[in-house]
């Protein structure tokens, strides 16, 4: 996360943790669903959660995965009776701070530094979303999967002697939900990458052995860290 995002996170934690304490939330908990009325803003300190939506036909799309020290703000601030645009569910046990929407907005409106930090945070998220859309639309199903693997390396990658370990357990269906593809396409593409020794896959964790291969295949623009991530 970049400096502006950390600044916003710290400003909110510093102000609101004096009034409320962090809560523990079990894995698999639905925080909110699409079109629910917005009551709370969530400050994630530990754990992972997914944000996404479900197509009317039942197909799930994971928009992003957040992992610690994140702000969950999935609505349009400063509007009357807002609703959440997406749903959010914890992947692991989490610790988070719940802030009433009205209190959050009042704080932002009355604190110049927080307003500037929020604008920067929203701008970064907008650019990141645009880049994800570009990758998924311009590069097709296979290229979209390559892009997701690159982003996962940025967000969860650990350097090992065998390559970059994506330290996040993911089933084929999870990966399909991240690309809005099908499990069959994901299985076939991952098999091709394994046969070319580009990746390995063990215990639901992927190790990328040749990151440059994936980047060259989609003409990667080598975006800065705050843009190239799965969050």
Q: Give the tens place of pLDDT for each residue, 87-131.
A: 999 999 999 999 999 999 999 999 999 999 999 999 988 888 888
Domains of the chain: 3-133 (2.60.120.10), 139-217 (1.10.10.10)
What own/partner pairs with CB < 8 Å and gap ≥ 24 does 77-81 have? Answer: 77/105, 77/108, 77/118, 78/105, 78/109, 81/37
Is-above-0.85 flag for pTM?
A: no
- Mean of all residue pLDDT scores within the chain: 89
User: Alpha helices of 139-200 — where are they, by DSSP H?
Assistant: 140-156, 172-179, 183-195
From first to last of its 231 residues, the chain has per-residue pLDDT tens of 344 444 789 999 999 987 778 999 999 999 999 999 999 999 999 999 999 998 777 778 898 999 888 999 999 999 999 999 999 999 999 999 999 999 999 999 999 999 999 999 999 888 888 888 777 777 778 888 999 999 999 989 999 999 999 999 899 999 999 887 888 989 999 999 999 999 999 888 999 999 999 999 988 887 777 788 888
At 97, which helix (H) or strand (E)?
strand 94-100
Cα–Cα distances (Å) from 211 to 104, 201, 208, 215, in that order, read 40, 15, 6, 6
Cα–Cα distances (Å) from 130 to 63, 127, 134, in that order, read 12, 5, 6
Q: Give the tens place of pLDDT for each residue, 63-94.
A: 899 988 899 999 999 999 999 999 999 999 99
d(CA 65, CA 63): 7
């Amino acid at each position: 996360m970049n400096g502006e995002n950390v600044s916003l996170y710290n400003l909110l934690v510093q102000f609101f943790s004096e009034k409320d304490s962090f809560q523990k939330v079990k894995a698999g908990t639905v925080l909110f669903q699409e079109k629910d009325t917005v009551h709370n803003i969530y400050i994630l300190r530990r754990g992972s959660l997914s944000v996404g939506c479900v197509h009317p036909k039942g197909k799930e799309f994971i928009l992003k995965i957040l992992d610690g020290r994140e702000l969950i703000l999935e609505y349009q601030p400063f509007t009357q009776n807002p609703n959440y645009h997406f749903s959010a569910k914890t992947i692991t046990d989490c610790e988070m701070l719940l802030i009433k929407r009205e209190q959050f907005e009042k704080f932002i409106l009355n604190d110049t530094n927080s307003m500037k930090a929020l604008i920067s945070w929203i701008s970064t998220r907008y650019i990141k979303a645009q880049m994800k859309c570009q990758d998924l639309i311009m590069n097709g199903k296979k290229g979209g999967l390559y892009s997701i693997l690159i982003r996962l390396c940025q967000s969860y990658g650990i350097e090992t002697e065998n390559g970059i370990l994506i330290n996040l357990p993911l089933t084929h269906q999870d990966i399909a939900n991240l690309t809005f593809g099908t499990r069959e396409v994901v299985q076939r593409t991952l098999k091709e990458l394994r046969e070319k020794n580009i990746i390995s896959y063990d215990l639901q964790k992927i190790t990328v052995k040749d990151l440059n291969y994936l980047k060259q295949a989609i003409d990667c623009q080598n975006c800065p860290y705050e843009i190239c991530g799965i969050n």
